[in-house]
Amino acid sequence: MRRARLAVLVAAVFLGGCTNQVDGTALSDPGYLPPKRGGSTSALIGTPNTLDACSLLEPAALAQFGTAEVPLQESYDYCWLRMKAGESSVAVRFGLLERIRAVGDLEAKEVEPVAGLRIFEEPPLPDRCARYILFSDNVTLAVSADTRDTPGKNISQLCSVTEKAATVIAENVAARKVTHHQYAASSLGPLNACAAVTVSLPQVPGLAAGEVTTYPATHQCRWGSETVPSLTLRYVLSEPSTASNVQHENISGRQTGVYNVDVNGRTLCVAEVKQGTGRELAQVIVRLAPGSQEAACVAARGVAAEVWSKLPAPS
C-alpha cells in the first residue's frame, strides 16, 4: 500500500506539469496484464474441512524471533506454535477460516498484499497482534501472536512475528503448498457441526435459531447473533475437563461431562463427550443470562442428546 500511494504521488507530480491537451482515445497496452487479486478458498487450499492448518507454516520460518515448537493441538480449525522469546512465551495461531459479508466487517486496515492476496491488520494490543488473509470469496484466514500465557512480559517484536507468519502463510497458500488430513471413519473431523442440531434448538430458551454462523471447515457452528442466548457446537482436540464441578452422566448412551463456567458475569454450560481413544471432543456450549446456570445445563443436555446420537461409533 505504501508503494502504491507513493506511485500515485509521483504520478501526480509529473502530471501536474502537463498543460497541453492531447486529443484522441487512449489505447490499452496489448502486453498489459491486470494484477491478480488472489483466488477463492477452494481454489487455493482445496477442501477447508480437511485442511491441515499446521502445513501452512513451518516453525523454522520464525527462527529469527526465537525457537518455535509444535505442541499438542487444540483444534482441527487452526494450528498453534509455542515460541520462547526472552522471558515471554508467544503463542502463534493460524488457519482459522471465517466468512465475512463484506470487507467492511473486518475491524482492520488493509496493508501490503502478499502473493496477490489481500492482507488486513488489526489495531495491535500490547499482548496481541493479528492479521487476516482475504480470499476472493470473502473468507478470511486468521494469523495472530500473543503473550497471554506470560502476562506482563510482552515483546516489542510481537507484530513482526505476526507479519512474518502471515507473509509466509500467504506465499504458501498462493503456491498451494498445503496438505490435508485423512480422517478415520470414526473421527469427528469430517462432520458438519451445523447439520448436527435440528430438532433440539428450541431447548435453548429465547434462542434465535435462524441466526446461524457457519464456518468453512464445518468443525463448529453457532446459533444466535448475540452473546446470550447462544448455542455453539464444536469438535475440538483436547481432554475432558477435570474441574471439580463436572457432573458425569449418561446422555444418549455416551459418558458425558456437564459443567458450568462463569465468563464475565455470563452463565455458560458445557456438555462434552470424548470420541474414541484419541483427543477428540464434541462440545455443546449454551450461554444464557447471569443466574441461569440450571437452565443453561438443561438446554445443553437436550442438545447433546441429539448431537451424540448422530456421532460415529467410536473406534
At 29 the pLDDT is 40
How far is residue 78's CA from residue 92's CA, in Å, rounded to a whole number?
10
Given a cut of 50, is residue 94 above it in pLDDT? yes
Asked if the bond preceding 229 is cis, omega within 30° of 0, the reply is yes
At 86 the pLDDT is 84
Closest CA relative to residue 97, chosen from 116, 78, 69 = 78
At 262 the pLDDT is 84
At 5 the pLDDT is 33
27 dihedral zone (left: phi>0; alpha: psi -120 to 50; beta): beta
Q: 193-309: what fold?
A: Jelly Rolls (2.60.120)
For the chain, give the mean pLDDT.
89
Q: Which three cell numbers stand for residue 199?
A: 430438532
**pLDDT tens, position by position, 250-274:** 999 999 999 999 887 678 999 999 9
Q: Are 304 and 284 in contact (CB under 8 A)?
A: yes
Given a cut of 90, is residue 33 above it in pLDDT? no
Confidence tier at 37 by pLDDT (50, 70, 90): low
**pLDDT tens, position by position, 175-225:** 999 999 999 999 999 999 999 999 999 999 999 888 999 999 999 999 999
At 170 the pLDDT is 98
Non-local CB neighbours of 5 within 8 Å, separated by 6+ positions: none
Whole-prediction pTM? 0.86
Non-local CB neighbours of 157 within 8 Å, separated by 6+ positions: 65, 85
Give the start-to-end residue ranges of the domains of the chain. 41-174, 193-309
